[in-house]
Amino acid sequence: MSTPFPFTAVVGQDDLRLALLLNAVSPAVGGVLVRGEKGTAKSTAVRALSALMPALDAVAGCRFSCDPASPDPACPDGPHEPGASETRPARMVELPVGASEDRLVGALDIERALAEGVKAFEPGLLADAHRGILYVDEVNLLHDHLVDLLLDAAAMGASYVEREGVSVRHAARFLLVGTMNPEEGELRPQLLDRFGLTVEVAASREPDQRVEVVRRRLAHDDDPEAFAARWADEEAAVRARITAARELLPSVRLGDAALRQIAATCAAFEVDGMRADIVMARTATALAAWAGRTDVLAEDVRQAALLALPHRRRRNPFDAPGLDEDKLDETLEEFGGSDDEDPDPGPQGPEGGPDGGPEGGPDGGGGLPPQSGDEAADATVPPQGDGAGPDAGRSEGGGAEPQPAGPGAGEQSPVRAAEPFRTKTLSVPGIGEGAAGRRSRARTEHGRTTGARRPRGTLTKLHLAATVHAAAPHQRARGRTGPGLVVRRDDLRQAVREGREGNLVLFVVDASGSMAARQRMGAVKGAVLSLLLDAYQRRDKVGLVTFRGSAADVALPPTSSVDAAAVRLESLPTGGRTPLAAGLLRAHDVLRVERLRDPARRALVVVVTDGRATGGPEPVATAGRAARLFAAEGVASVVVDCESGPVRLGLAGELAAELGGTAVTLDELRADSIAGLVKNVQGTSRRAA
């Protein structure tokens, strides 16, 4: 077994270390979500924490780690007789992103059911993690239904399994830790709220600290055992402090003054529900115990707010987590009692490591800087002078679009997007086999069972009834004598399940002069932002191609970070000609490359334009040929018609016909419009079953 990097040797990252230690002291805090860029010691710190967890006593032979002093009366391996117990280190169980539901919660032991004819439960990772640590790296990439199961078990302290004739309940109390890189996509706000604490981590910009990080990492890699031995005393001190804080925790008093501050703080920041109040109370109590005190002070409440509230302040998926510390201090001062007299913002106690201790403090952070996503949206729009005239149609269809001289002339500052709205559901026709999501029909590992088939390759989800049905006629010929079935490989049947998949939603946005009118572009951006919100909720990947002037640009390559697409959209300038063909060809190239990377993920192309095409030789004919490439390959598409004014030329509808898709107006895109029911993208997909 490799020697982990010592927890106390982690340089800086005081917020991260403090949050982990508070959960080690009091798992009831509810776990911690660590958000940060790659290479910031997130996984290193989490894995190092397991070595600090005090050893535990468990019933010998119990697969569910029951405490011999108070065994679970409902333990599937029980009842346990008083007697044999074993002392072992607390486990750290890692949940892979690609884990199945069976692996997480457990399932029927198929081998024993078929061979012995008995109904037995095979425990999952939740049982393994009981009384230990459950670590999920890249939790934002975990399937939503697994996150729901995981967080429900963490909140209830138990796992309930009701499936395939198995009804089991077992204890599942663990320290839940998730790490994620926000660039790869966000968690839904509902799921963010289920994590007790959240910390933001970033690499230090101080050269001396970066030098020390490299020095320690190299020393550990060269000789892990010797490096760990150098930090053994510090590790032992922190381990002893965790044990002492756990023993002190029941004696900590949460007074009325601290409770008033907690309630007032949660109310002032308008967090939803009561979970934030409860988490803050538990965190403040753990902070006091970690500091060796039996009373919760105002400084504990402040630190608890900085750890428990930032991620609960998100009002929509594109808001960055953050907390206004000035407002926090004003609230604590207004509602503070006698506990408010000590201005020290960090818990007291001995240092836990060579870098000033993992407990935080005045210089150790503990909070997040106020963040705002409105800077780009506050840009003003100068008077329009690019010469963009009224709707005039495509250049070959009756009148040319007025154009500025020069390739960069006429560019306008970004226009702020209109308020987003709930959109109609746009889906890809047919049945796919892509990543689990919430948009289009697909054959998935999860969902309702619709049938059975012979497995293609490795069997991943057994259809028990179909397998028994296939094996039953051959039992006499196979010489069956006992209660179990004689099953051959040819009898096995794979369950066919239908659910929903996430798609690649590629936006192709016209940013030319014909779209540049202030109110018009604001409405267009509002529509795209609304579709981005819908893509976020349906767990899609998104990409953004824009075209204006004489070329098209990939403003955002396909990514799971819908937030990044929203930022690029806000800063999108407008002006110039309308190279529609260039935009379509660039989008086609993006899809070609992405199809090689992820062939199972089907694409939905959303073209946002008024249908004009100008610039270059035969712009309309060239755009038509480019559009027919999508139709020939069966790519699902929809054109959002942005044409305005009393006279409409219907160019967007013609483009949609050439794409083999459908056209919707901005008004029809709204879910509450009177234009009709849900619109499915018309056309066929070559990869649809």
Cα within 13 Å of Cα(387), Cβ side: 11
Going 301 to 289 to 21 to 277, the CA torsion angle's sign is negative
CA angle 439, 98, 108 (to 5 degrees): 100
Q: Which residue type occupies 114?
A: L
Cβ neighbours of residue 596 closer than 8 Å, sequence gap 6 or more: none
Collapsing DSSP to helix, strand or coil, 5 comes out as coil
Q: 3-state DSSP helix/strand/coil percent for the chain, to nearest 5?
A: 40, 20, 45
Integer CA distances (angstroms), 606 to 257, 528, 536, in order = 55, 9, 15
Token pair 């990252």 in the structure block, residue: 13
Collapsing DSSP to helix, strand or coil, 274 comes out as coil
Q: What is the DSSP string of 510-558?
A: E-SGGG--HHHHHHHHHHHHHHHHHHHHTT-EEEEEEEETTEEEEEEEE
Q: What is the DSSP string of 46-100?
A: HHHHGGGSPPEEEETT-TT---TTS--TT-TT-PPPS--EEEEPPPEEE--TT--
For 313, the token pair is 């302040």
| Phi, psi angle pair for 388, to nearest 5° | -70, 120
Residue 284's nearest CA partner among 369, 346, 355 is: 346
Largest CA distance in the chain: 93
| Phi, psi angle pair for 565, to nearest 5° | -65, -40
Catalytic site residue from 103, 188, 230, 275: 275
CB 620 within 8 A of CB 397: yes
- Tell me how far apart the alpha carbons of residues 100 and 420 are, in angstroms, rounded to a whole number: 35
Cβ neighbours of residue 520 closer than 8 Å, sequence gap 6 or more: 642, 644
Question: Is 63 one of the annotated active-site residues of the chain?
Answer: no
Cβ neighbours of residue 362 closer than 8 Å, sequence gap 6 or more: 344, 345, 346
H or E element: which one contains 366? Answer: none
Integer CA distances (angstroms), 332 to 258, 301, 312, in order = 9, 8, 18
- Tell me how far apart the alpha carbons of residues 283 and 49 are, in angstroms, rounded to a whole number: 18
Cite the active site residues: 275
